[in-house]
A and B are shown apart, each in its own frame.
Chain A
Amino acid sequence: MKDLRHHFETPLRTTAFHDRVAAANVLNEWAPWAGYTTATVLEDAETEYTAIRNTASLYDLCPMIKYRITGPDAVDYLNRLTLRDVARLPVDAVHYTAWCDDHGKLLDDGTLFRLGEAEFLLCCQERHLPWLADSTLGFDVAIRDATDEIAGLSLQGPCTAAVLTEAGFDVSALKPFRIARYPFKGGTLTISRTGFTGDLGYELWIEPGLALPLWDRLMEAGGYCGIRPVGSAALNLARIEAGFITTNADFVPADQAVREDRVRSPYEMALDWMIDFGKGHFNGRRALLKEHDTQSSEWAFVALDIEGNVAADHAILYDGRDREIGQVTSAAWSPVTKSSIALAHMRRPYDTRAKGGIWAEIYALRELHYVKLMMKAEIVARPFFAPPRRRATPPGRF
C-alpha cells in the first residue's frame, strides 16, 4: 500500500480521464475540485458551451462524491436521512434529493441512484461520511465512499443519444432519471439519463480501468457532430440556465456555515417540494414542520431576469427604497435566452412585494475602473431554459 505519510506531496490527485483531458486542455487551465485536478476551460469556454447546447459534450465527473449505501435497511436509512420518500424510487431509477441537519437546514443536495432493492449510490458535492456513518445507528446498512471506485463522465447535448447509439449503446428506450447497463470491453457501463445542463444528456459510470477506452469510443462516435470535451466554466453557464443550484455556490451547507444567518432550509432554497412529511421521521422533520406551520422561513430562492448584459455575480439586491433585500448567488449572461439571468436569495416577504421593484447593484469592471450599475430585475420562472427535447423518449436524432 502507498505510504499515506507522503500525501502532501500530491495535494491534488488526477482523475481516471486525466490523460485525455490534459491532452485536450490546450489552455492548461486547472482548478481543484474535491481534491482532484479538473479543467476549468480547455480551449474556449463559449465554444464548449455551444457544444453542450448544440451538439455533444464530455465532462469529467470523477471528483463528484459518491457513497455506496447497501444493506437490508437501506431504504429506511435513506428515508431517515433525506427529504424525499425513497420507497417510491424504483430500482434502476434516480431522483434528485437533499438532506438536512437537526434544525432543518440543508447539508447538501444530490442525486440518489437506486441500483438494486437494497443498493444505492448517493452523489453529491461535499463530503459527508461522518454524518452518513453516524446516521447508521439503528439501521442494518453499510456506507462506503466509492468516489475512487467509479469513473463518472457526463455526456450532454442534443446529439448525445445519437452519439451513444453510434458508440454501440442503444439508449432510445431510456427515459429521464432511469438507469441502463451495457457490456463494455469485459466490464459493465452504467448509463443514467441524468445531467446538470437541463438538456438531453446522460451520465456514464464505469470502472476506472475502462475510463480511457470509453472516452476514446465516445470521441470517435461523436466525431460526426463535433463532440467536444468541456470544462467547468461552460458547464456552470449551462447549469445556471437550467436553474440548478450548486452547493457552496448557491447555499452554504449547514455543517460548514460559520455565520448564523447563512444556513438555509429547503423552504428557503425552493426545495420544499421534496419534503415528504408523510413518510415517517427524517432528519430535520420536526424543525421543518414547525417552519411550515409557523411560516417562519426567512428567505426565498428566486430566479431573476436582469436588464442589461453584465452578469450580476454577487450583486446586492435592493427594493425601490434602497433597502437591501437579497443577494445574487449565481449569475450569467445567458446565450440561449439572450438575457442576464441570476439566482438569488431574497429576504421574505420581498420576494412577493418589493415596493418600487427589485434593483441589482452590479459592478462592471471597465478598464481598471468599476462602474456601478443599478439594474432593474424581475422575478421569473425557473428554469430559464427547458427545451422539450430534454424529456422526449425516444430522444430525437440530431
Chain B
Amino acid sequence: MQSFDAIVIGGGTNGMACAARLTKGGKRVLVLDAADRPGGAAVGGDPASGALQMPLAHLLMMLDPRVHAGMDLDQHGFSYAATDLTTTALSATGDHLVLEGPAGASVSGSLSDADRAAWATLRKRLLTYAEALVPFRALTPPRIARKAGNDMLGLAKIGLGLRRLGREEFREFLRLFLINVADFLEDDLTDDRLRGVLAFDAVLGSWLGPRSPNSLLVYLNRLAGEAAGTRAALALPKGGMGTVADAMARSTAASGVTLQSGARVERILIEDDRATGVVLTSGETYRAPTIVSAAGPKQTLLDLVGARHLDTGFVRRTRNIRSRGGAAKLHLALTARPDFRGADLATRLMIAPDINTVENAFNATKYGEVPERPVMEIVIPTAHEGTGTDDPHLLSAIVQFAPHDPRDGLDKARKQMLANTLNVLEDHAPGIGGLISERELLMPQDIEARYGMAGGNWHHGELSVEQMLFLRPFADVAQYSTPIAGLWLASAGSHPGGGISGAAGWNAAERILSGVAA
C-alpha cells in the first residue's frame, strides 16, 4: 500500500487547500472525502442530474489569494463570470437602490445627498478597519504563553498597521469593535433600504441579529475578504460555484495528492496518545503520522476522536462551541425569467427593506419560530451566462433567519419557511410563483445532514467575537494543533472561519510545516 505523510479528512475547500499546501511543502498527502465529489459547500450540480443540484455557497468573496495563486486555479479551469458584482436593494414598489463597486462604492437610485455623503464616510472607515484586519486572516492566532510559537514579526506588523490608523481613528476602531451594526448604521444613515442591506450583510451566515453585540465586527471580517483581487468585492465564477470546487480538485490531483471520494472516516486511530491513522466506515484503515481534519471541530473531537481520549474540561469546551445555523437555502427552477420590478437580474438582489425587518426575522428564530417576513440574498446564476428571457432560470437564495431548533418540528417549519419565503418573493417579483417548476428549501438541519456542518452553521461554529481569532474554535485548539499529538484541525471552525476561502486549511498546513509539535 502507498504510504502517506499526512491524511486530510474532508475534501472541501479547506481540506483541499490544506492538502495542496502540504504537498508544496514536500508531503505525500491523502485526502478522504465522504461525498461523491470533492468540494464540500462549493460542489455544483451535475447539469445532467437535475436543475436543483445547486451548491450551498453561491458567491465568492472570501477566496484566499494564497489559495487562488498557490493552487494555480486559473490553470485548472477557474475563471470569473462576474467580478465586482453589483448589489440591488430591492424595493417592493420598484424604487430600488443600486450599490455598485466593492461594498457599495457608488449608489444610484433615490438617495438623499446627506445619506450619500454619510455613506461615503462610513464606507471609507469600514474599509480602513477591515484592511487592518486582513493580515490576521493569514496568521496562526497568537497565544499568550511563553514558547507558544507566535509569529512575533507578523503580529508586530499588524500592531503597526493598527497604530498607523492614528490616535483618533484607533479610538474609533476600539469603540466600534464590539458595537452592533444597527447602532452604527442608525447613527449616520437615514435610508431604510441602505441600512437594511448593510445590516443584512453584517449578519449573513451568523447567528446574530443587527442589534446583537459585535455584529459590526462580523461585517468587518466579511469586508476583509476579497474577490478577483478587489477588497470587499463579490464575484461569481464562470460555470457556477461548482467550478471552484472542480478547479481545486483538478489542481489537487495535478499536484500529486491522492484524493479519494466516497470515503467517510468513522474514527481517528489513536495509539499511545498519538493520532496514527483513520478507519473508514467501510472498515478500511489508512495510516500516517499526521492527521488533519477539515471536518468541523465538534465532529472531529467528539465523534472521530471520542471523549475518552480527551480531558473532561476540554470536552466541555468542545461541546460548548456554539454552532447554530440561522440561514436556510432556497433553490428554485423557474420556467422563465422572473421580474423583480425591473431590477437587473445580473446583480445580487437583496430583500432586506430595513433594519427592523432583519431584526424581527432573527427574533423569531430565538424562540424556534419561523419568521413571518424572512430577509434574503438572491443570486440568479443563469442571468450571468447569457440566458434569454424565455429560457428557464435558476434562483439561489440565502434566506434568514431559519430556526435551528424549530419548536413545531422540522417538517412543519420547513413548509412554513418555504411558504413565507415565497410570499416575500411574490411581493417583490409578482408572478414568480407561477414560474416555479422545482423548489427546494434547505433548513439548517438539512444543511447539517448534507454537509456535516454542526448545527447547520456554515462556519462549522458561529462566527462572533467570542469564537474568533485566538478563541476559535476555543483557546486550547486555536493554533490548529490539538492535545492529541499528530492531530490537527483545518476546517472553517478554525481561524479565520468560513466562506469559500481555504484560508483555514492553508493556515493549518503552514502551521504543520513550520514544525511546531501538535
Are both chains from one complex? Answer: yes
Residues of A within 8 A of B (CB): 76, 80-81, 101-102, 131, 134-135, 137-139, 281, 283-286
Contacts of B313 in A (CB 8 A): 101-102, 283
Q: Give the residue of A76, A101, A135, A286 whose beta carbon is less than 8 angstroms from that of B483.
A: A286
A residues less than 8 Å from B273 (CB atoms) = 281, 285-286
Q: How big is chain B's contact interface, by range?
A: 10 to 19
Q: Tell me which residues across on chain A come within 8 A of B307, comparing CB atoms.
A: 137-139
CA distance A138 to B313 in the complex (A): 14
A138 to B306, CA, bound (A): 7
Residue B408 is within 8 A (CB to CB) of chain A in the complex: no
User: Does B314 contact A281, Cβ atoms closer than 8 Å?
Assistant: no
Q: What distance in Å separates the Cβ of B274 from its nearest Cβ neighbour in chain A?
A: 11
How distant is A1 from chain B, measured CB to nearest CB, in Å?
29
Residues B311 and A284 in contact, CB atoms below 8 Å apart: yes
- A289's nearest neighbour on chain B, judged by CB, is B273
Flag if B309 contacts A137 (CB, 8 Å): no
Residue B147 interfacial (CB < 8 Å): no
17 A-B residue pairs with Cβ-Cβ distance under 8 Å, sorted by A, are A81-B312, A101-B311, A102-B313, A102-B314, A135-B312, A137-B315, A138-B307, A138-B315, A139-B307, A281-B308, A281-B309, A281-B310, A283-B312, A284-B311, A285-B311, A286-B311, A286-B483
Residue of A nearest to B306 (CB): A138
Question: What chain A residues lie within 8 Å of B311 (beta carbons)?
Answer: 101-102, 283-286
B319 and A137 within 8 A (CB): yes
Q: Residue of A at shortest CB range from B476?
A: A102
Q: Is B146 an interface position by the 8 A CB rule?
A: no
**Are B315 and A139 in contact (CB-based, < 8 A)?**
no
B interface list, Cβ under 8 A from A: 273, 302, 306-316, 319, 483
For the complex of A and B, list the 9 residue pairs with the smallest distance between their C-beta atoms, beginning with the closest. A138-B307, A102-B311, A102-B313, A137-B307, A135-B312, A283-B311, A138-B308, A281-B309, A134-B316
Alpha-carbon separation in the docked complex, A284 to B308 (Å): 12
Q: Are A80 and B314 in contact (CB under 8 A)?
A: no
How distant is A226 from chain B, measured CB to nearest CB, in Å?
Answer: 47
Selected contact of B312 from candidates A76, A131, A286, CB within 8 Å: A131
A138 contact set on B, CB distance < 8 A: 302, 306-308, 315
B272 (CB) vs chain A CBs: closest residue: A280
Cα distance A187–B141 when bound, in Å? 62
- Closest chain-A Cβ to B482's Cβ sits at a distance in Å of 11
B320 to chain A, nearest CB (A): 10
Contact partner of B302 (CB less than 8 A), chosen from A80, A102, A137, A286, is: A137
Q: Which residues of B contact A102 (CB under 8 A)?
A: 311-314
Known: A81-B312, A134-B315, A135-B312. 6 other contacts (CB 8 A): A76-B308, A101-B312, A102-B312, A134-B312, A138-B307, A285-B311
Best-buried of B312, B313, B483 by chain A (most CB within 10 Å): B312
Q: How far is the CA of A138 from the CA of B308 in the complex (A)?
A: 7
Closest to B314 in A: A102
Q: Least Cβ distance of A40 to chain B in Å?
A: 35
Query: CA of A284 to CA of B310 in the docked complex: distance in angstroms?
Result: 9
Q: How far is the CB of B84 from chain A (nearest CB, A)?
A: 48
Q: Point out the residues of chain A lying under 8 angstroms from B319, CB to CB.
A: 137
In the complex, residue of chain A having the shortest beta-carbon distance to the beta carbon of B273:
A281
In the docked arrangement, what's the CA distance between A124 and B313, Å?
A: 20
Q: How far is the CA of A134 from the CA of B311 in the complex (A)?
A: 10
User: Across the interface, which residues of A come within 8 angstroms of B309, CB to CB?
Assistant: 281
Q: What is the CB-to-nearest-CB distance from A143 to chain B, in angstroms, rounded to a whole number?
A: 12
Chain B minimum-CB-distance residue to A104: B311
Contacts of A283 in B (CB 8 A): 311-313
Chain B residues with CB under 8 Å of A284's CB are 311
B310: A residues at CB distance < 8 A: 281
A137 vs B314: C-alpha distance in the bound complex, in angstroms?
12
* Minimum CB distance partner of B307 in chain A: A138
How far, in angstroms, from A137 to B312 measured CA to CA in the complex?
A: 9
Alpha-carbon separation in the docked complex, A139 to B315 (Å): 13
- CA A80 to CA B313, docked complex, whole Å: 12
Q: Which of A80, A81, A137: most chain B CB closer than 10 A?
A: A137
Residues of chain A contacted by B306 (CB below 8 angstroms): 138
A284–B307 Cα distance when bound, in Å, is 13
A286 CB contacts on chain B under 8 angstroms: 273, 311, 483
Q: How far is the CA of A80 from the CA of B307 in the complex (A)?
A: 10
Compute how far the CA of A135 lies from the CA of B316 in the bound complex, rounded to whole angstroms. Answer: 9
- When distances are taken between beta carbons in the complex, the residues of chain B under 8 Å from A285 are 273, 311
Q: Are A80 and B308 in contact (CB under 8 A)?
A: yes
Complex CA–CA separation, A76 to B307 (angstroms): 12
**A134 contacts across to B, CB distance below 8 A:** 312, 315-316
Which B residues are CB-close (under 8 A) to A76? 308
Q: In the assembly, what is the distance between CA of A284 and CA of B273, in Å?
A: 13
Instruction: Point out the residues of chain A lying under 8 angstroms from B312, CB to CB.
Output: 81, 101-102, 131, 134-135, 283
Which residues of B have CB within 8 Å of A80? 308
Q: State in angstroms the CA–CA spacing of A162 and B283 once bound together.
A: 62
Most buried by B among A102, A139, A286: A102
Give the docked Cα–Cα distance between A76 and B316 (Å): 19
B308 proximity list for chain A (CB < 8 A): 76, 80, 138-139, 281
- Which B residues are in CB contact (< 8 Å) with A281? 273, 308-310
Nearest A residue to B313 by beta-carbon distance? A102
Residue in chain B with minimal CB distance to A76: B308
Contacts of A101 in B (CB 8 A): 311-313
Rounded to whole angstroms, the CA-CA distance of A76 and B309 in the bound complex is: 11
